[in-house]
Amino acid sequence: MDVVFAIDSSENIGDADYIKEAEFFNRVAESFDIRPNVTRVASLLYSDQIQEMFALDECDSLEAVKKGLSKLGDTAGSTRVDLALQHILTRSFRRSLTRQEASKVGIVITGSPARYLELSKSYANKAHKTGVKYIAIGVGELVTDEELRIITSSNERRIHRLASFDELERLAAEVAIQACSVPLPDIELLKDQPCGSKQEADIMFLMDSVNAGKRNSRKALEFIHSLINEFDIEHDNIHVGLLSAECEGETPGFELGSHQTRAQLETQFKSMQGTDFHKILHSMRRGSFSKSGARKHARKIAILIIDGSLEEPLKTLSEAQKAKIHGIEVYVVLVGEEEPQEEISMMCDDPSTSHFYKVSNYNELKALKQRLLQSLCDEL
């Protein structure tokens, strides 16, 4: 079993009650056989931002879990249960950490009125479809029945309503038993999780067709096409866009959300020829994620395919850094035999081991596909 504890650390929670939440989870953890191949535990604090206390692969004993739970931060901010549900689904239970042979459980304590219930509902529904089960504990009069039902996908047996945090102690054994009773997710359910099934993403591909030339630009397009074939586009979970300097025709690519089916994308790719581009990173940062196909709460990702060296590396780096400041996650695929310019290495997000890739030539892009997908889709 893999279990994630979510502690309400919003400004509505007093210091004494905040400590009681951690003490409650200590009691719950005491009922588990915490070992790497048996039960793993993770924990996070949530308000209007997330603070991950420890991940599923970091604490291999009860003592380690208790030590991790002792490191409480300050309470601050409003309550965003939707952020907690998003983090549990996409980060705590990311694909690289998920075990098919383990049930997946999230235990959420909330003592404050929630906002963005539609977002909470969206992430709870996606969790239900991917085999994650929630136990919800609502404390006090400010927590609504609607919120608790959203968290548990209307499973009343996994909802607990308490008048005060003093009542948490008596609930520990019951919650532990409930967590241990969650069945394994269906194997077929786990297999049917395309990239994008966990959260929406807007993904822009940027081609360095100036240096690549037409033949290599075509190979880059084929590589991009092969990646897109793995995305969940049909259910509107992933929007895809493309920018190169000047594709033959009236537009330099296509915008996010302009294709609703894979067939439409197939037709678009067959009609495109990559040629030169100019300031595409600037254009992407200023326009692509603000147009009609982009979505406010979707994850924003840019994948840059760069040929060799950049003529103006400092300007390109500046644009990449500005993109990251605006919440765009940047991947870099560098094609060429020479050592990468320092500025190119600095353009991608951290960790660079999963955001920076280098191949000697365009024929090697095919072999890169699975490595890039593994990183790109880990939380999608």
Regarding predicted confidence, which is higher, 247 or 111?
A: 111
What pLDDT band is residue 248 in, cutting at 50, 70 and 90? Answer: very low
Say what the pLDDT of residue 162 is.
97
Mean pLDDT confidence for 91-110: 95
Mean pLDDT confidence for 354-374: 96
Say what the pLDDT of residue 292 is.
66
Could you say which architecture CATH assigns to the domain 201-376? Answer: 3-Layer(aba) Sandwich (3.40)
Mean pLDDT confidence for 237-256: 71
Equal CATH topology for 2-190 and 201-376: yes
Say what the pLDDT of residue 178 is.
97
pLDDT in tens, 321-358: 989 999 999 999 999 999 999 999 999 999 999 999 99
Q: Decide if pLDDT at 188 tops 90.
A: no
Indicate the length of the chain as a whole number.
380
Q: Decide if pLDDT at 181 tops 80.
A: yes
Task: List, in sequence order, every residue forming a beta bridge with 52; answer none if it has no partner.
Answer: 44
Q: Supply the CATH classification number for the domain 2-190.
A: 3.40.50.410
Say what the pLDDT of residue 117 is.
95
Q: Decide if pLDDT at 159 tops 60.
A: yes
Q: What is the pTM of this model?
A: 0.88
Q: What percent of the chain has pLDDT over 70?
A: 93
Q: Decide if pLDDT at 172 tops 80.
A: yes
Identify the CA nearest to 98 among candidates 1, 207, 227: 1
Say what the pLDDT of residue 57 is.
97
Domain ranges of the chain: 2-190, 201-376
Least confident of 11-20, 235-244, 281-290: 281-290
Identify the CA nearest to 25 among candidates 42, 38, 9: 42
Identify the CA nearest to 42 among candidates 100, 112, 104, 96: 104
Say what the pLDDT of residue 200 is.
94
Q: Decide if pLDDT at 250 tops 90.
A: no
Radius of gyration of the chain (CA): 23
pLDDT in tens, 257-269: 777 788 887 777 7
Say what the pLDDT of residue 276 is.
42
The mean predicted confidence, pLDDT, of the chain is 90
Q: What are phi and psi of 290, to 5 degrees?
A: -120, 0
pLDDT in tens, 192-229: 789 999 999 999 999 887 678 789 989 999 999 999 99
Say what the pLDDT of residue 270 is.
66
